[in-house]
Structure 1
Amino acid sequence: MQLIMALTSSWKLILAATVVMLGMWTSQSTARTLPNASMVLEKHENWMAQFGRAYKDDAEKAMRFKIFKENVEYIESFNEAGAKLPYKLAINKFADLTNEEFKTSRNGFKMGSHPKPSYKVSSFKYANVIAVPASMDWRMKGAVTAVKNQGQCGTCWAFSVVATIEAINQIKTGQLLSLSEQQLVDCDDKEHGCEGGFKNNAFEFIVQNGGITTETNYPYVRFKGICDTMKASEVAVQITGYEVVPANNETALLQAVANQPVSVSIDSSSLDSQFYSSGVLTGGCGTNVDHEVAVVGYGTTTDGIKYWLVKNSWGQNWGEDGYFRIQRDVPQIGGLCGIATTASYPTMII
């Protein structure tokens, strides 16, 4: 009987000790969690102030904070796990958007039906180019205007096309003019305005219209409006047509970019694209293209990574001052992110 009582007493002591230990662990866990939650909340408040973000009520703020917190966790875990990767992610102006919201509002590639051009599309004139520079940056040659911002409107197709026309005009005439994306958005009825479009249709429209006007004359307003035919008739730059780069061929794309910036389509649907900050993107994307941009150069890092230099249309406070770099010459059909899947450039005879 005394033995049973002694054992019972021992079990009570063990149970009590266990309860105490569990309490200590819970307290320590809570102590760790509360500062972390507080830190994320502070980050969100600072982020709202930085980007001028306001919400209509507490319910929306709570929802957006939850999304922000999840995105911050992804960014931090990626940067920690991928410390040796050649690119980094960062909290940016898209931090309170789900990836689906981001894709819907920023990506606007829509190939749709491609009407037969009213003229014969020239063959790829750079096919016989053999010697190309080891690197190229058309910005340094004065052929690239400042990075623009399409806003929450899927007009990337217009910005991609305009960037290449601005460039070829400067290359041919020595004059860099900022041209009108809004003219394409309003007046090109083969496209879908903020719902997307396709570069080759836009090139065709500009040929048929007799050219394109300046951004100053027909400024961007981030929504599709009624075509202002008076403004559209004030042509600043004319092109003779466009040429298509052989599909899924990075060598051909290199031949073209060595001579002028090129409009391309890419897969920009991932969180890595949404929060890209710097470096050479080497993954985090497929080849189902959904966004159009302009390749304005190429090069090789000091670590030997070949890359494409790409001008985006998400503003200068995204990526590397509005640009990003994508790995070049990868053993993948279409190139990384599908960058060589569909590419074309305008032609001009002066």
Structure 2
Amino acid sequence: MDPLLLQVLAAKQIPSIGDDAMLLQESMVELINSNPKAGWKAALPSRFSNYTIGQFKYMLGMKKIPKDASLSFPVGSHVANSNLPAQFDARTAWPQCSSIGRILDQGHCGSCWAFGAVECLTDRFCIQLDVTISLSVNDILSCCGSSCGDGCKGGWLINAWQYFVQNGVVTEECDPYFDPVGCRHPGCTEVWQTPQCVQKCKSENQVWSDQKHFGVSAFNIQSDPQSIMAEIYTNGPVEAGFAIYQDFPLYESGVYKHVSGKLIGHHAVKLIGWGTTEEGEDYWLAANSWNSGWGDNGFFKIKRGTNECEFEENVVAGMPSPKNLNSALSGGRE
């Protein structure tokens, strides 16, 4: 089916709805699954069974940086490499790093920008420095303040990586996520507040400053697939931000492409690989932070090579530093 015709059909079948309407629409699922050209399957995920559009929008915490402002940040690039594999999955490339395949749950806080950054840096500590740790989302979410954005109301991706360089980030054991059960409890609402920055480890035997792990760099990645692929292949997972439309939360399997619905906001995820389907469609492989009950066990594929939903223009990363590792690995105990 012609893409333009598909959009016209979608506009006719899916009414425009406001923020107080329910997020999950059976009519949209039927529209996607009845179209053999869609390339992906939709479902009604229990993760969002009682969500309104407005509640879901609150979770989409990627703040976009104006293009002229983004020019002030370093850009990581790679020499063209024709030897990149056709398929790549960081989970199998670095099997000793179990964190790569870990799916987390941001709850109902718009903290995706912090999750994506912390997850990638955690992976890169393992890949680059052979250090197995789990870093704290709560540290950057609560303590970066206006330098990163506005906590649960969203943040800038590159600024999170700058926080790692300038301030470091403690371990998850030291400062666990403030909403440990995710958005599955009665108190989880669209007004969930950013936790306070206390700069004190949960365990009295651990010292905050000794638990800090640092980055040595923070950079944007050139917005072309080859550069993004080379960065992942060489250094590990990267953080990617993209536009979210009404149909994306319905994703269950296949290679996502926007089919129907309005733009809701922008979201950040961990990008771990790429590949091509048997039908010849190129895709990116990413880990989301909506728990393993969403999508394909928490992961999803999205079309590669066409900047689908701006996916290839908002990619950032950084490198881990050995700074303070001796204190951190010794436990930082008094």
Work out whether 1:213 is the aligned partner of 2:170: yes
**Among residues 251, 257, 280, which one is paired with 2:255 in the alignment?**
280
Aligned residue type for 1:147? I
Map 1:233-272 → 2, pairs under 5 A: 233-247=209-223, 249-259=224-234, 260-268=236-244, 270-272=245-247
2:258 partner SS = coil
Q: CA distance change for structure 1 residues 134 and 236 in 2, over 3 Å: closer, same or farther? A: farther
1:255 partner SS = helix
Q: CA distance change for structure 1 residues 75 and 288 in 2, over 3 Å: closer, same or farther? A: closer
Please report the TM-score for the alignment, with normalisation by the length of structure 1: 0.71
Q: CA distance change for structure 1 residues 290 and 163 in 2, over 3 Å: closer, same or farther? A: same
Aligned residue type for 1:271? Q
CA contact 1:102–1:274 (8 Å) conserved in 2: no
Work out whether 1:134 is the aligned partner of 2:91: no
Aligned residue type for 1:175? V
Work out whether 1:304 is the aligned partner of 2:280: yes
Deviation of 1:171 (Å): 0.7
Matched residues in 2 for 1:311 and 1:297: separation? 10
**Among residues 91, 100, 108, which one is paired with 2:61 in the alignment?**
108
Deviation of 1:252 (Å): 1.7
Aligned residue type for 2:232? V
Q: CA distance change for structure 1 residues 76 and 176 in 2, over 3 Å: closer, same or farther? A: farther
Cross-structure match for 2:118: 162
CA contact 2:32–2:38 (8 Å) conserved in 1: no
Q: CA distance change for structure 1 residues 240 and 170 in 2, over 3 Å: closer, same or farther? A: same
Aligned residue type for 2:174? N
Please report the TM-score for the alignment, with normalisation by the length of structure 2: 0.74
**Among residues 315, 319, 324, which one is paired with 2:295 in the alignment?**
319
- Deviations along 1:115-147, one digit per CA (max 9) or x if unpaired, are x99xx9655252454421222111222341511
Cross-structure match for 1:226: 196
Percent of matched pairs sharing the same residue: 26
Deviation of 1:324 (Å): 0.6
Gapped regions of structure 1 (runs ≥ 5): 1-63
Matched residues in 2 for 1:278 and 1:167: separation? 25
Paired positions, count:
274
Cross-structure match for 2:52: 98
- Deviations along 1:187-236, one digit per CA (max 9) or x if unpaired, are 00122110000111111112111x21111211111442221223342435
The Cα RMSD (Å) is 2.8
Gapped regions of structure 2 (runs ≥ 5): 1-19, 180-192, 202-207, 323-334
**Among residues 29, 46, 52, which one is paired with 1:75 in the alignment?**
29
Q: CA distance change for structure 1 residues 113 and 224 in 2, over 3 Å: closer, same or farther? A: farther
Cross-structure match for 1:24: none
Deviation of 1:343 (Å): 1.1
Deviation of 1:238 (Å): 2.0
Cross-structure match for 2:327: none
Aligned residue type for 1:257? I
Deviation of 1:91 (Å): 1.2
1:258 partner SS = helix
Aligned residue type for 2:200? M
Aligned residue type for 1:224? T
Work out whether 1:196 is the aligned partner of 2:154: yes
Work out whether 1:171 is the aligned partner of 2:146: no
Map 1:47-58 → 2, pairs under 5 A: none
Deviation of 1:266 (Å): 0.5
- Deviations along 1:143-172, one digit per CA (max 9) or x if unpaired, are 415110011110000001011101111111
Higher helix content, 1 or 2: 1
Matched residues in 1 for 2:73 and 2:30: separation? 48
CA contact 1:89–1:275 (8 Å) conserved in 2: yes
Cross-structure match for 2:13: none
Matched residues in 1 for 2:263 and 2:283: separation? 17
Matched residues in 2 for 1:306 and 1:72: separation? 28
Matched residues in 2 for 1:95 and 1:123: separation? 40
2:126 partner SS = helix
Q: CA distance change for structure 1 residues 133 and 237 in 2, over 3 Å: closer, same or farther? A: farther
Work out whether 1:347 is the aligned partner of 2:323: no
CA contact 2:238–2:317 (8 Å) conserved in 1: yes
Aligned residue type for 2:153? E
Aligned residue type for 1:171? I
Q: CA distance change for structure 1 residues 318 and 229 in 2, over 3 Å: closer, same or farther? A: same
Cross-structure match for 1:124: 76
Cross-structure match for 1:336: 308
- Deviations along 1:248-283, one digit per CA (max 9) or x if unpaired, are x22222222222211111011x22211111111123
